[in-house]
Structure 1
Amino acid sequence: MSKNKVDISKIDLEKEREKITDLPGLIEYAHHAGSAIIKPEDKGRIKGTAVAAMHDQTDRQFRQLYEQMQTLIEQAKYLKSRVEVSERIYQASVPFQPVIGKVYFLYKKKDNSDLLSMVSPEEWGKNFPYESFEAEVRLMSDHTWEIVKTHNQEYNY
């Protein structure tokens, strides 16, 4: 076994003193062989991950708002249709007294006037006497008309 001799005159004692501390937990490197591994943080990666997470969250919130707006648009279209059909019904020929909660059928006659009937399009069979079926409606307790379905669309509100 060969012994390496250390030349003490070449050691910078002041520099070596900087590596000695009473509080080894505060130094930026492992202070003995059994110390935990200390790795510097990649601050760019941490910020990048945080920014990506923020964008993901805000994108989800924007999608949720968009879906809510679509729902509101559909509800507004339904209300507009409901007003239009209600106005037509109140100007239509109604040969009976409508009952709240009952379903009725709005038809366009050949002379372009409207008629409210208790007879569904299916009940007419081949003897359909009108120009077209316009809407299936229900009289509500506030005397507004709910559209159950139109000639091309069914409503589930």
Structure 2
Amino acid sequence: MSEKKEEFVNPIDPDKIAENPHNLPYAHTVSGVEIKPIDKGKVKGRAVKAMYKQSDMQLEQIRKQIELLAQQAKGIQDRISISEQIYNAQMNFEPLIGFVYHLYERRDGSEYVLSMVSPEEWGPNPPYRFVATVELLADHTWDVLRKASETDEDEV
């Protein structure tokens, strides 16, 4: 018996079939993903905006760090300045690390005096003008705990 092989006839119009559908720039089936062309201007614009925002955030962070370093440097300079005043002041005792002392200036401005007596302990007529309350640190600089305020100076 000889079987007659029937020739397959594709019912779809050959003009509507792609030989390589995976190479098409659009979906070739009904359920395929919609492919839209990219608006390169929008993409670049968003990327540039994001870049500027991120850069601004980083620059702001660096600015804050610089300000903090400047404050720390000023604090060290203030400690050096007050330490020089204290080491040039009259002291009738040996200051100990970790203890609190009080720096005064003679009324005539001739010299500074380091004392263990606080401004409150002098009473209403202190013999000196209060400058600062300080603590001796381990590196032999002085930490300023309290400075004379403008109102303290006006009262004198």
What band does the TM-score fall into relative to the shorter chain? 0.7 to 0.9
TM-score by length of 1: 0.78
Q: Deviations over 1:12-41 (max 9, x none)?
A: xxxxx8975333122112223332211111
Percent identity over the alignment is: 46
What corresponds to 2:9 in structure 1?
none
One-letter amino acid of the counterpart of residue 41, structure 1: I
> Where does the alignment leave 5 or more consecutive residues of structure 2 unmatched?
1-13, 151-156
Aligned alpha-carbon RMSD (Å): 2.1
> Closer, same or farther in 2 for the Cα pair 1:20/1:81, shift >3 Å?
same
Instruction: Indicate which of 2, 18, 41 corresponds to 2:38.
Output: 41
Instruction: Indicate which of 146, 150, 153 corresponds to 2:147.
Output: 150
> Where does the alignment leave 5 or more consecutive residues of structure 1 unmatched?
1-16
What corresponds to 2:70 in structure 1?
73
> Closer, same or farther in 2 for the Cα pair 1:47/1:18, shift >3 Å?
farther
TM-score by length of 2: 0.79
For residues 56-71 of structure 1, what are the structure 2 equivalents within 5 Å?
56-71=53-68
Q: Distance in 2 between matches of 1:123 and 1:20?
A: 103
In the TM superposition, what is the alpha-carbon distance from 1:55 to its structure 2 partner?
0.6
Three-state SS of the structure 2 residue aligned to 1:127 is coil
For residues 5-44 of structure 1, what are the structure 2 equivalents within 5 Å?
20-44=17-41
Q: Distance in 1 between matches of 2:102 and 2:73?
A: 23
